[in-house]
Amino acid sequence: MTRDGGSALLSRFTLSLPAGGACPIVVGSGASAEAPDHLRASRATRCAIITDSNLERSLGAPVLGRFREAGVDAAIFAFPAGERHKTRAVKETIEDRLLAAGFGRDAAIVAVGGGVTLDLAGFVAATYMRGIPLLQVPTSLLAMADAAIGGKNGVDHPLGKNLIGTLHHPAAILADTDFLDSLPDREHRTGLAEIIKAGIIRDAVLFGEMEARADALATRDRATVRVFLERGMRLKAEIVAADDAERDLRKILNFGHTIGHALELVTDFTMSHGEAISVGMVAEAGIAVRLGLIGAAEASRMEALLRAVGLPARLPEGVDPRRLVDATVTDKKSRGGQLEFALPAGIGVMARTDAGYARAAPRDLVLGALDAIR
């Protein structure tokens, strides 16, 4: 990853991609206004804006207006909002609409929305006409910190989350922090989970600074949130650049996600991604304690910071740990039905074996860690 500098309003850095490619990342107030420039840089001459029904008018329409003011042929393709609509059927419907509207290889996909939209639109871009350019315009804190960076995309299956998809990096990521002002408090909190995760897995200094500024994060101080968002995004970009194909280092990004994805599934997605990952991190830190990888005091610090910003640290009422463990077996990180986790060896460092960062844990031990947070 290279650093291109920044200004009071915008910061810029670049995610280096395989085969010499690069994805510019712009973070800050007004970043989305640059979308037409990045579209031209991708050599596309028209664009299909994919967004959900909740954001079609409030955020999709203004982005559409920017393209049209710049003389770009653009149209919006909205789909019903919600994780339950991140499916193969919805993807096919969007593709049918694109074909009916005459979009060809001269087009680009512009994803405007949260993680569901970015995952779904990225999958469309990866397969439509065998692959066309993609611009990511994340509109939530969670999407900026997580879904926008890394090229992962896909749809859910009744057996698990994101089980069908591919890797297709965007031509640019424009994280416009002005969009964050309209987020409900719950959506703000859910985004903080992935930023806190960044500190736990890779940067103890970042984690300590977030501990010191937890009140400012919780109360949505704009400058504080932007600083930690940008640092979390840079850290994820560095990890992805080092291991694009997730053969080794990139697996550390899965901390909290084996349990977290299972929680989303068994609660029928009534838990947001960030809430589920928060509980997942507490549970998986408990697994690490039981395996002797970290001390109880370090796990307590992780839980304390999550709680300090308003994130949950306990299983929702009525969730059976056994059902939760059963749901992890269908997770795409599972190998031969074996429960595997990316686990911390301390704050800022992840445990690694000769086999890499994925670590097996016995079912009974996992159940014990889950029982402890009921």
**Best CA proximity match to 9, nearest among 35, 29, 36, 25:** 29
From the candidates 188, 226, 234, 236, give the one annotated as an active-site residue: 236
Catalytic residue flag (residue 257): yes
- 342 close to 350: Cβ distance less than 8 angstroms: yes
Catalytic residue flag (residue 169): no
From the candidates 261, 290, 301, 359, give the one annotated as an active-site residue: 261
From the candidates 95, 211, 238, 246, give the one annotated as an active-site residue: 246
Tell me if residue 151 falls in helix, strand or coil: coil
From the candidates 273, 290, 301, 359, give the one annotated as an active-site residue: 273
From the candidates 38, 86, 152, 226, give the one annotated as an active-site residue: 152
From the candidates 56, 187, 194, 275, give the one annotated as an active-site residue: 194
**How far, in Å, are 35, 167, 311, 372 from residue 315 at the CA level?**
41, 32, 12, 9
From the candidates 168, 231, 234, 257, give the one annotated as an active-site residue: 257
Catalytic residue flag (residue 3): no
- Single-letter code of the amino acid located at 369: A
299-307 long-range contacts (CB < 8 A, ≥24 apart) are: 301/211, 301/347, 302/196, 302/200, 302/344, 302/347, 304/211, 305/196, 305/207, 305/210, 305/211, 305/214, 306/193, 306/196, 306/278, 306/281, 306/282
From the candidates 38, 161, 234, 250, give the one annotated as an active-site residue: 250
Catalytic residue flag (residue 54): no
The tokens for 124 are: 């469309």
- 287 close to 366: Cβ distance less than 8 angstroms: yes
Catalytic residue flag (residue 254): yes
Catalytic residue flag (residue 194): yes
From the candidates 69, 130, 247, 317, give the one annotated as an active-site residue: 130
Q: How far apart are CA 271 and CA 79, in angstroms?
A: 21
* Total residues found in the chain within this entry: 374
Catalytic residue flag (residue 69): no
Q: How far apart are CA 306 and CA 302, in angstroms?
A: 6
Q: How far apart are CA 98 and CA 95, in angstroms?
A: 5
- Residues forming the active site: 130, 152, 194, 236, 246, 250, 254, 257, 261, 273
